[in-house]
């Protein structure tokens, strides 16, 4: 089934709004979520044929409400129990949605939904699946395809996530103020995971996966509209735009990964760079710096260099140092070591890597070996560099990275 892009966009925008209204009215997040999915599927079939209804939101709400009451009715019949539920049912089953349904409350609903889908009781993969379905309006089939798992597996992940939310007693309400920052960080992390899942996918046959990048940007934009005064939300959107700007340049025709320094910079998307740079530059003037803003700022510094040798490495190093200070993490240290090498020479960078050998989080990681290989190559030690590239190639679980690292090692073979 192919749905015209305009219809699909409309459906995906309306999905969280309709779900929010339904949950507020009836409670039972999981049943409402199923009902909205069914309404979306019905619309995807009918609208392209019959035309988009005059009040698409009302149409979806009406159909979803009907599905919900049908479901409750059949459950009641099955269990043959008294119908306390029906007292909640409204009389608008067939009629158009009431005016109160299309109100500014929508804005808060989408945010509340995001908080709920990224609930701490859920594992990251469940948070991702549920967010894509309930907020992104994607079908289980689409999500399953994007994550290369069977549809039944993804359906199970979604339904388990909903069960866990119910079991946790979470209500459809914004988190309490003392938890809000942490919960928002979880939401940003989920959007970042979705983005990376799409961005790192190879371009070729896996367009389904690459679509996740666009979806993550769409959700980040929506979140940014809801929370324009949050510097980290702005920073995440900027980071996504600045990273995605390199998409066309990051792989060669043969699918081989091309490192930043060797990319054809004329292929970089200047619109995305302009937007991302403006967003992060602005945010840093009024917001305390956070990890996403700093990563976006680093991406912006890379993006402004027309040639690799024009890169302002001292500036990048300063930003990495600030990032290391704010959120110390061995992966940040790896990147910092590259910047140090560019500013103070490769042996200074290698010095920074040494303590990481004793850090369990990263000691056997292919990234450590890959960065070390790169710095050893810079330092003019091809034998040691080749060994490190090979070690990195053996430990990565990414096929394109393994090809890249093997090619680097081969280049150093006499």
Distance CA 117, CA 165 (A): 8
Cα–Cα distances (Å) from 206 to 126, 197, 210, in that order, read: 22, 11, 7
Q: Which is nearer to another protein, 26 or 374 (CB)?
A: 374
E strand or H helix at 391: helix 382-395
CA atoms within 13 A on the CB side of 117: 30
Shortest distance, position 287 Cβ to another protein, whole Å: 27
Q: Which is nearer to another protein, 85 or 155 (CB)?
A: 155
Which structure tokens are listed for 295? 């990563």
Shortest distance, position 347 Cβ to another protein, whole Å: 20
Q: Which is nearer to another protein, 132 or 154 (CB)?
A: 154
Q: Which is nearer to another protein, 149 or 227 (CB)?
A: 149
Shortest distance, position 327 Cβ to another protein, whole Å: 19
Q: What are residue 99's DSSP bridge partners?
A: none
Distance CA 27, CA 33 (A): 11
Q: Which residues contact 368 (CB under 8 A, 6 or more apart)?
A: 330, 334, 353, 356, 357, 362
**Which ranges in 245-329 belong to alpha helices (H)?**
270-286, 291-304, 313-326
Shortest distance, position 259 Cβ to another protein, whole Å: 5
Shortest distance, position 370 Cβ to another protein, whole Å: 6
Residues present in the chain in total: 414
Distance CA 22, CA 69 (A): 11
Q: Which is nearer to another protein, 26 or 372 (CB)?
A: 372
Report the interface residues with another protein, using CB under 8 A.
123-126, 129, 147-150, 152-154, 156-158, 160, 197, 199-202, 206, 209, 246, 250-251, 257-260, 263, 370-371, 374, 397-402, 404
Shortest distance, position 192 Cβ to another protein, whole Å: 13
Q: Which is nearer to another protein, 10 or 334 (CB)?
A: 334
Q: Which is nearer to another protein, 261 or 327 (CB)?
A: 261
Shortest distance, position 398 Cβ to another protein, whole Å: 4
Q: What are residue 6's DSSP bridge partners?
A: none
Q: Which residues contact 75 (CB under 8 A, 6 or more apart)?
A: none
Residue pair 14/56 in contact (Cβ under 8 Å)? The answer is yes
């Amino acid at each position: 089934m192919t749905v015209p892009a305009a219809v699909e966009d409309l459906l995906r925008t309306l999905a969280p709004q309709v779900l929010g209204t339904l949950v507020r009215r009836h409670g039972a997040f999981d049943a409402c979520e199923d009902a909205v999915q069914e309404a979306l599927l019905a619309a995807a079939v009918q609208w392209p044929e019959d035309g988009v209804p005059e009040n698409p939101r009302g149409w979806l709400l009406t159909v979803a409400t009907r599905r919900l009451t049908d479901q409750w009715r059949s459950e009641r019949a099955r269990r043959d129990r008294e119908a306390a539920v029906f007292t909640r049912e409204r009389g608008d089953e067939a009629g158009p949605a009431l005016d109160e349904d299309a109100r500014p409350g929508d804005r808060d609903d989408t945010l509340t939904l995001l908080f709920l889908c990224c609930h701490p009781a859920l594992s990251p993969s469940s948070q991702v699946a549920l967010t894509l379905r309930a907020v992104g309006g994607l079908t289980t089939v689409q999500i399953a395809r994007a994550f290369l798992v069977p549809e039944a597996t993804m359906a199970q992940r979604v339904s388990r996530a909903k069960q866990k939310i119910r079991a946790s007693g979470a209500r459809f309400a914004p988190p309490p103020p003392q938890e809000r920052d942490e919960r928002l960080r979880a939401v940003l992390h989920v959007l970042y995971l979705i983005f990376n899942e799409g961005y790192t996918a190879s371009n070729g046959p896996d367009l389904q996966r690459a679509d996740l990048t666009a979806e993550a940007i769409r959700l980040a934009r929506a979140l940014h509209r809801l929370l324009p005064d949050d510097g980290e939300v702005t920073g995440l959107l900027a980071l996504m735009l600045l990273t995605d700007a390199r998409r066309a340049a990051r792989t060669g025709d043969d699918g081989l990964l091309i490192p930043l320094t060797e990319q054809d910079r004329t292929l970089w998307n200047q619109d995305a760079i302009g937007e991302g740079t403006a967003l992060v530059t602005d945010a840093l003037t009024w917001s305390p710096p956070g990890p996403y803003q700093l990563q976006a700022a680093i991406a912006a510094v890379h993006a402004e260099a027309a040639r690799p040798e024009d890169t302002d490495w001292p500036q990048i190093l300063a930003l990495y140092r600030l990032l290391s200070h704010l959120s110390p993490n061995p992966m940040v240290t790896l990147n910092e070591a590259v910047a140090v090498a560019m500013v103070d020479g490769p042996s200074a960078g290698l010095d920074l890597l040494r303590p990481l050998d004793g850090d369990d989080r990263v000691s056997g990681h292919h990234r450590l070996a890959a960065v070390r290989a790169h710095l050893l190559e810079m330092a003019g030690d091809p034998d040691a560099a080749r060994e490190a590239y090979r070690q990195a190639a053996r430990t990565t679980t990414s096929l394109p990275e393994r090809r890249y690292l093997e090619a680097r090692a081969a280049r150093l073979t006499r």
